[in-house]
Chain A
Amino acid sequence: MVSRVSGDVVTDVLRPAGALDGWAGRFAALPDSVTLLAEPFHAMVDVRTADPAALERLVGAPLPGPNAWSGGERVTAIWLGPDEWLLTSPFLSPAELEGAARETGAAALPDARLAVVDVSAQRTTVRLRGAHARDVLETGCAIDLLPRSFGAGSAAVTLLGQSGVVLLGLGPSDYRILVRSSFAAYLAEWLLDAASEWR
């Protein structure tokens, strides 16, 4: 990011550009019952391993099984497949997260075989909250989103509208949506359109 101060060019700390930078105004026009927020940059690292226990210390919890996520604010692990997880962190840089996965994995289980790849540029993150958040998702997602089957800790790699997404349940009426950057504008338009019913 470059900012101009009285004619001089001053280079600030570089901040990754988000695919939904510039959408805040349209998101802000939504009612409180459906709020959308383009979340700050999350580092994301794809891990493939047969030894998920090697990463428990980094995540702070056992790595999740199918259709679930685990971990905390610092590092989250999302199940993508039987030997594949997505680690995300809003606090670590992509290089730090990738390095931490390699180092803690090797320290915990020296024989563990891990494939660790930085995929931070692949997806961007949207937060959907409010009393009608689930109603909005249900207009374009076939997953059973009733709280009894999709609550806090649930995750699904699925379709929302015509776009592939990773959908995380954070709490009642609180969801995080990971969408590929090139689909982000489409999904934002889709969500705004779906939310218009509850305006």
Chain B
Amino acid sequence: MQLIHCPWCGPREEVEFHYGGQAGVAYPADPAVLSDEEWARYVFVRDNPKGRFEERWSHSAGCRRWFTAVRDTVTYRFER
């Protein structure tokens, strides 16, 4: 099974982690002025690159902390 490196706990099995999607999606500065389409884009639309992808992960079965990791979506390999 694949090991994922938690910045606090070190390498742990992938089943200990929860995936949180794309990293760095900023909350709108003024949500009230967004159109429905702009809000839908913020909530639902994410990048889907082939290759390097910055993602949020939670070490849910361990220290329960969120962190950002970079994973290659082709090889599943994590950058450290």
- Chain A positions within 8 Å of B, measured between CB atoms, are 66-67, 80-82, 84, 142-143, 156-159, 164
Contact = CB atoms under 8 A, between A and B. Distances in A.
A67 B1 contact: no
A66 B9 contact: yes
B72 interface: no
Given A66-B10, A67-B10, A82 B1 contact: no
17 contacts: A66-B8, A66-B10, A67-B9, A67-B10, A80-B63, A80-B64, A81-B64, A82-B63, A84-B63, A142-B1, A142-B12, A143-B12, A156-B62, A157-B63, A158-B16, A158-B62, A159-B15
B13 interface: yes
A81 to B, nearest CB: 4
B61 interface: yes
Nearest to A80: B63
For the side of the interface on B, what is the size category? 10 to 19
Contacts of B63: 66, 80-82, 84, 157
A146 to B, nearest CB: 14
Given A157-B62, A158-B16, A159-B61, 13 more contacts: A66-B8, A66-B9, A66-B63, A67-B9, A81-B8, A84-B63, A142-B1, A142-B12, A142-B13, A157-B63, A158-B62, A159-B13, A164-B61
A75 B9 CA distance: 23
Nearest to B60: A164
B9 A82 contact: no
Nearest to A165: B61
Interface of B: 1, 8-10, 12-13, 15-16, 61-65
A80 B6 CA distance: 13
The dominant DSSP class at the A interface is strand
A81 B65 contact: yes
Nearest to B8: A66
Contacts of A164: 61
Contacts of B12: 142-143, 158
Given A81-B65, A142-B1, A159 B16 contact: yes
Contacts of A66: 8-10, 63
Contacts of A159: 13, 15-16, 61
B8 A82 contact: yes
Contacts of A84: 63
A157 B6 CA distance: 12
B77 to A, nearest CB: 19
A82 B65 contact: yes
A164 B13 CA distance: 13
